[in-house]
Chain A
């Protein structure tokens, strides 16, 4: 692979054509660009030196994706989560955009760590280059700051609890800790005053700092040059080719590779969005992003009074060491073979960080398994006003709400209830839904349909933030909407299953391969509605009618009429009704 060296350089060199006296802002700019491209590089500059361009490119990618995300995002607990979900589900390529923004932080942490390692190996921090190193180390901290402040913004469970731990760590710092944590948190709890603070730091303060530091870093690199591998002190640094074009191509290819990897990772799992933040949740296992798992694990290792070691001393020591590298190693020697102690220390540091991260990850998996094993606590009760005890008591108020919230806009549209992925028709809601489920669902639609991690949103129903009474009233109103012709009440006594009926139903469920379209827990496909808790959602009589003749109720449903016998349908419903 060879390039016509400095071909363009000669042709464009303004000094050839214009005398210095003819200097104008335009020619000055061209000359500056030319000088930038013609930067002389030492011999043996190669692929590893493309890492700095990868860091820069990923940071610019953050800026670009972040600016577009900010066009949709609202930094308020009332709508942050919804706005993020809107990006994921409604914005064209929004899921990809957000995943890129989320994924390139991880990419950035890896790229910056590799870049630091490379510079450390080749001792690119000696002499005047120590300033470049210090600016670079500060940029690493800025990147971690981006990660920490960005973590809260989606306002889901991981955001809330992860940030909560972060603030507690900050509060553990001696003297200034509690004040600092309170300053970051704003209000008395993580909420309306916290989100704008994190948002402002994330989108104003840190980008300004990053831009200034990058400019300084690049200026210093230009001033003192890059360091080629393994040059002994005193050796003359042999000049190599200019930056343009060969190194420029290397940099461009490396950047393409990095952005491709991040895109691929972004596209496959996507950026996570869990259930909406809920400080009362006791099922969730809080955790930070992967690059903070090591720090999190330190907290497990140091108990009681030694806690401050994990929160402040050791992380402070690590950062301090990073800055002290140019001070601690002052010999001008730059060949790795002569810097065995330095290299070994660096390697030990890296292995320690990796080991802690791995241990943190395994501990997280263990805790997740343990939490999943605990059954929900018995006797749950809430002091919030109970929904009206008598079903139907507040139907009139519910009708008002139904109109005020304009439910008809979706649920009474001509296509409502006619096919897959359309808003359900509510004209027979009273014959279809169980009242308790309706109340829960109306109070937090997204929570009900989001109980499984990793499943995409399957509903577009907005969260109207109804109070318990309002949801109860609305459910009462819906309860009056029955259709006894289409959904004739049956005489089946559901609460008295004949022996073995549920088991028979379970076998029929398998026999008719219902799992081919429906999921129950982790079993089955997600093509049709998830049936994991269907028994708590639908009335038995409705299920019976639906299982027998689905298309009579939802004309365009892909679920086919299996011509079930009455006994079979009844047994299947007996199986389904106990899934709660």
Chain B
């Protein structure tokens, strides 16, 4: 009896420690895989951009950008749906239609067109852009994001 309750010798002790670590690692891996998998699952999905029809080309004018609220089809988790998004449409110097995202490139708040000052302003941290979305003042680094635009039969289509 006395010999059995004594600690195993150093070699056996080391082996048992390694065995213990291995068994625990296996258990953790077995239980952890689905947990981590489900946690990161949404990141692994990417959405395909889609073309949506916005407005008639004739509705646009050079100068003041026009605000458009569009319904973007999204797959959000277990059910599809639409997401309301604001776009700003204007006409560039060369006559091409420009569609800009309303999200400030700084922290993602919606910019608004201040007609009197002729610039976009973001109310979160004071970022300012000109009518073509170029940065004029404040913290943003990049101009407003532009969306791909196509004109089909006089209507403006935007890729969202």
Q: Which of A164, A282, A307 contacts B139 (CB 8 A)?
A: A307
Contacts of A179 in B (CB 8 A): 43
State in angstroms the CA–CA spacing of A21 and B141 once bound together.
75
Contacts of A113 in B (CB 8 A): none
With most chain A CB atoms within 10 A of its CB, the pick from B55, B123, B138 is B123
Flag if B67 contacts A377 (CB, 8 Å).
yes
Q: Nearest residue in A to B105 (C-beta to C-beta)?
A: A168
**Interface bracket on A:** 35 or more
- Which chain B residues (35-59) contact chain A, with CB distance < 8 Å? 39-40, 42-43, 45-47, 52-55, 59
State in angstroms the CA–CA spacing of A562 and B121 once bound together.
49
Interface string of B90-117 (1 = CB under 8 A from A): 0000000000001000111111111100
Contacts of B112 in A (CB 8 A): 282-283, 371, 374, 377
- Which chain A residues (187-202) contact chain B, with CB distance < 8 Å? 187-189, 191-193
Q: How many A-B residue pairs have CB under 8 A?
A: 144
Contacts of B85 in A (CB 8 A): 279-280
State in angstroms the CA–CA spacing of A182 and B39 once bound together.
11
- A522 in the interface (beta carbon within 8 A): no
Q: Which of A182, A279, A368 contacts B84 (CB 8 A)?
A: A279
**What distance in Å separates the Cβ of B157 from its nearest Cβ neighbour in chain A?**
9
Flag if B115 contacts A375 (CB, 8 Å).
yes
- A281 in the interface (beta carbon within 8 A): yes
- A499 in the interface (beta carbon within 8 A): no
Interface locus among A48-56, A86-94, A381-389, A537-545: A381-389
State in angstroms the CA–CA spacing of A371 and B124 once bound together.
11
**What distance in Å separates the Cβ of A287 from its nearest Cβ neighbour in chain B?**
8
Total count of chain B residues near the partner, CB < 8 A: 49
Contacts of A380 in B (CB 8 A): 66-69
Interface string of B13-54 (1 = CB under 8 A from A): 000000000000000000000000001101101110000111
State in angstroms the CA–CA spacing of A363 and B115 once bound together.
21
With most chain A CB atoms within 10 A of its CB, the pick from B46, B83, B102, B141 is B83
Interface locus among A297-305, A453-461, A510-518: A297-305
Flag if B83 contacts A279 (CB, 8 Å).
yes
Flag if A304 contacts B71 (CB, 8 Å).
no
Contacts of B139 in A (CB 8 A): 299-300, 302-304, 307
Flag if B76 contacts A381 (CB, 8 Å).
no
Flag if B74 contacts A188 (CB, 8 Å).
yes
State in angstroms the CA–CA spacing of A351 and B106 once bound together.
28
State in angstroms the CA–CA spacing of A182 and B111 once bound together.
23
- B70 in the interface (beta carbon within 8 A): yes
**What distance in Å separates the Cβ of B26 from its nearest Cβ neighbour in chain A?**
26
- A186 in the interface (beta carbon within 8 A): yes
- Which chain A residues (368-423) contact chain B, with CB distance < 8 Å? 368, 370-371, 374-375, 377-384
Can you list 24 A-B contacts with CB-CB less than 8 angstroms, sorted by A residue number? A164-B108, A182-B42, A183-B40, A188-B46, A282-B67, A282-B102, A282-B110, A282-B112, A299-B125, A367-B123, A370-B114, A374-B112, A375-B115, A377-B67, A378-B64, A379-B59, A379-B66, A379-B67, A380-B67, A381-B54, A381-B55, A381-B66, A381-B68, A383-B54
Interface residues in chain A, defined as those with a beta carbon under 8 Å from any beta carbon in chain B = 161, 164-165, 167-169, 179, 182-183, 186-189, 191-193, 278-287, 296, 299-300, 302-305, 307, 363, 367-368, 370-371, 374-375, 377-384
Interface residues in chain B, defined as those with a beta carbon under 8 Å from any beta carbon in chain A = 39-40, 42-43, 45-47, 52-55, 59, 64, 66-71, 74-79, 83-86, 102, 106-115, 121, 123-126, 138-141
6 additional contacts (CB under 8 A) given A165-B124, A384-B71: A187-B76, A193-B77, A286-B109, A363-B126, A377-B67, A382-B68
